[in-house]
Chain A
Amino acid sequence: MDASLLVIIVVATALAFDFTNGFHDTANSMATSIATGALKPRTAVAFSAVLNLVGALLSVEVAKTISGGIVDDARITPAVVFGGLVGAIVWNLVTWYVGLPSSSSHALFGGLIGATWIASGADAVHFAKVVDKVVVPSIAAPLVAGIVALLATFLTYRLTRRTRESVSHKGFKAGQVASAALMSLAHGTNDAQKTMGIITLTLITAGMLQPGAAPPMWVVLSAAVAIALGTYLGGWRITHTLGKGLTTIEAPQGFAAQTSAATVIMASSHLGFALSTTHVASGGIMGSGLGRQRDGVRWGVAGRMALAWLLTLPAAGIVGALAGRVASTGTVGVVVVAAVAVAVSLGIWLLSRREPVRPEHVVDEIAAQAETHKVAV
């Protein structure tokens, strides 16, 4: 198959992945602001989309981690990257449909590593770099966010215990909006980067860029726009649930949890650590649950999340390995992989349309971690 055609297919697929990422995740950060009536749904979603765009343009450290080092770019082809990407998308869609909390970021790494491993051998994967830049940060960051959020929540409740009801009500509404904005920004600095990294890696493997090159401007821009569009269009689903004035967290708690998560994500992005923004956000919410009351965490849910986390890398790796193997056999292979991917996506989309949107589809794993509160608007 013509190399440039294949590159175009991979770029389009990567941007589609980016779009779904925005569609999936970003709604979470604005949920509380909408439920408390601090922002109108439409405004909140547009605001979040713009901030994602800005965040994606702020830093390219995470993109460089992906394009420059977790796999040996001299030994893989665009077809292998395509296989890895398909592995990630299929795993993502399946877990989304069955309601398993899983991270799109880890699915992406799993798919890429699996595809590279099978196509070019285990030594084409730089495991030391994977451990240093992906595995360790993805365990550490949610813990860090949790600890920070615990202390922050405790302090917030403690320090504002004696403030007037009217002042703290209004104040925390504003604080919520600010921290949600930070969260959207942070999401852009880490999640959009993953798509940029994948596209840059594809261009390097196709010989269109020098190894170690930073993402070109059009890659940065298109990834930023894709995630922002996904965010904007995904937003209608939250308004659906949040019209009822329900949220998963109290405003002061949300303020503390989101500020913590956003700070941890941005600090990590700056150092090129690729982590799951969802896991960090969940870590923040769990920590703030503990900070508010001692039994504020659902350990069962936490356990299930940890399990899904352990499963995602290898499972997406296997799908990615299969897809990468088939795709690297030539034109027919690529067409077959693409056809299977489209069929799976369509199938899941049709299945999901048979039932209405459920709250757990909307605020997924983060909602599972916190109890629901009725908000006084």
Chain B
Amino acid sequence: MKVDWAALGTVFGVSLTVVLGLVVLFSAGLRALSAREDARERGASVALPTTAATACLVACVTVVLFGIYLIVAR
């Protein structure tokens, strides 16, 4: 009876890293969007928060697409 603990460990490690990464990126994106609204109300420049939000959300999409690519590419 041989259980492939390494493979199970991989599932755990990969899932944890990917999900926490996604959650942090997504939340950061929302915070940046929120900061953008604040900046707009103050009449300040929205360039920085807009860039940050876009970067975070694009990174989210990239992570997901890369994951799917890894599954398909095998």
Contact = CB atoms under 8 A, between A and B. Distances in A.
Given A155-B20, A167-B34, A144 B27 contact: no
A178 B63 CA distance: 13
B38 to A, nearest CB: 8
Contacts of A137: 8, 11
Contacts of A267: 10-11, 14-15
B34 A159 contact: no
A151 B16 contact: yes
A159 to B, nearest CB: 4
B55 interface: no
Interface string B19-56: 11011101111110110011000000000000000000
A58 B74 CA distance: 10
A259 B12 contact: no
B64 to A, nearest CB: 7
Decide if the interface of chain B is mainly helix, strand, loop or mixed.
helix
Contacts of B18: 263
Contacts of A59: 71-72, 74
**Interface range on chain B: under 10, 10 to 19, 20 to 34, or 35 or more?**
35 or more
B34 A144 contact: no
B33 A167 contact: yes
Given A155-B23, A159-B24, A175-B26, A144 B68 contact: no
Nearest to A129: B2
B10 A156 contact: no
Contacts, number: 115
A209 to B, nearest CB: 21
Interface string A53-78: 00000110100000000000000000
B17 to A, nearest CB: 9
Given A160-B31, A164-B34, A264 B71 contact: no
A260 B72 contact: no
B20 A160 contact: no
A152 B19 CA distance: 7
A136 B8 contact: yes
Given A136-B3, A270-B74, A271-B10, A148 B27 contact: no
A174 to B, nearest CB: 9
9 contacts: A137-B11, A159-B27, A159-B31, A162-B31, A163-B31, A172-B30, A175-B26, A264-B15, A270-B70
**Cβ-closest 8 pairs across A and B:** A159-B27, A163-B34, A171-B30, A167-B34, A164-B34, A267-B11, A152-B23, A263-B15
Given A137-B11, A266-B67, A270-B70, 10 more contacts: A59-B74, A131-B1, A148-B16, A151-B19, A152-B20, A171-B26, A259-B23, A260-B19, A270-B74, A271-B11
